[in-house]
Amino acid sequence: MDTSTANTDPPPSSGKTSFLKTCFNGINALSGVGLLSIPYALSQGGWLSLIVFMATAITCFYTGLLLQRCMDSSSLVNTYPDIGAHAFGRRGRLIVATFMYLELYLVAIDFLILEGDNLHKLFPAASFRLGALHVSGKHAFVLAATLAVLPTTWFSSLNVLAYVAAGGALASVLLIAAVLWVGVFDGVGFRERGRLVRWDSMPSAMSLYSFCFSGHAVFPMIYTGMKDRKRFPMVLSLCFTVSTLSYGLMGIVGYLMYGDTLKSQITLNLPSASVAAKVAIYTTLVNPLSKYALVVAPVAEAAEGALGVGKSAPFRALVRTVLVFGTAVVALAVPFFADVVGLTGALLSCTATMLLPCLCYLKVRSKIGGARGMGLETAACLAVVAIGTAIVGLGTYSSVKQIVGKL
């Protein structure tokens, strides 16, 4: 492997995060909303798509290591957009930042759709009035969730929210346990055989798998915050192992329980009267609420910088309010969770997790005098770029087609 120039030692760390806390942060970044959609993804691709799932996990782990190598090549590189700038100049920074911020913004939209779907399942008859306007159904809960998360986005410091979000790992464990309980003790069972493969909807499955492992936007932040950066590969290995096992278990269990009748979120299939199902739904509701502000914060800070808002608290609150209600408008207009997640996974997550890390790494390596020619690592990067490009094209087309067909 032609890795000679990529093996530079990490720069001295000014971070204070321990190995264990870094692992929790990484697991929290990878394991989240994707747990709900992974059974549906498996139903879209069939049992053989588990091979695609494993290949996606391994590829995303590898590209996470490539991001670390890019950061180790310069002490001035601290964020994902910095990597783009280091590789391709100002244009590279703009491209990376655009894909990163769009991905985070669509994830925030996914959170609101998720809240609306699950609250509507719990309280199907609920409604409320906004002046003369009567709002009911999922729309009512999307608006309610928007109002609930809005104040959390106004804080200039998100330290408190970061501690709340650290409970995401526990929430994931509770969710898997609750679904297993429904299958074992609530009479649902694991009797569905499913299909071996579904070629027609395989692009949707591939897009959703990409979404599940899309933590690359925050990996640089996690890396720079470590006390001992040399242990980052071990952190990534542990985080991807835990997340892959969690996703795999949830996907297989959910597919055996409900087969081709799976909905976009497995919580929508669970029996409403089951206590375990209610635990799963409430756990699902808490997780996005605790993460929403953390996801929107980088987008808000970029918007504030572009508008020259500075440290003016009222203007910062105004910018963030506009952004939050912007996500609500899209969530109300396109309330199709699986399709929005699929579009996010295909167009944005796949680009951020597969294409950009490989392209940036190859460029950075060539700039600092790395090995040239078609070595094993170069071939691997080019193969990832080729496969990623296919997923972006097919997955985006499939997701847009499904969204347009439902409007």
Q: What is the pLDDT of residues 71-91, one digit of tens each?
A: 999 888 988 999 999 999 999
Rounded Cα distance between 327 and 263, Å, is 23
Identify the three-state secondary structure at position 135.
Answer: strand
Rounded Cα distance between 354 and 61, Å, is 10
Domain boundaries, the chain: 4-406
Rounded Cα distance between 217 and 224, Å, is 13
Model confidence band, residue 382 (pLDDT cutoffs 50, 70, 90) = very high
Rounded Cα distance between 81 and 95, Å, is 8
166 with 28: CB under 8 angstroms?
yes
pLDDT tens across 282-294, in order? 888 877 776 788 7
pLDDT for res 314: 86
CB atoms under 10 Å from CB of 87, counted, come to 25
pLDDT for res 12: 56
Question: What is the fold, at CATH topology level, of the domain defined by 4-406?
Answer: Amino acid/polyamine transporter I (1.20.1740)
Rounded Cα distance between 254 and 54, Å, is 17
pLDDT (average), residues 6-28: 70
- pTM listed for this prediction: 0.84
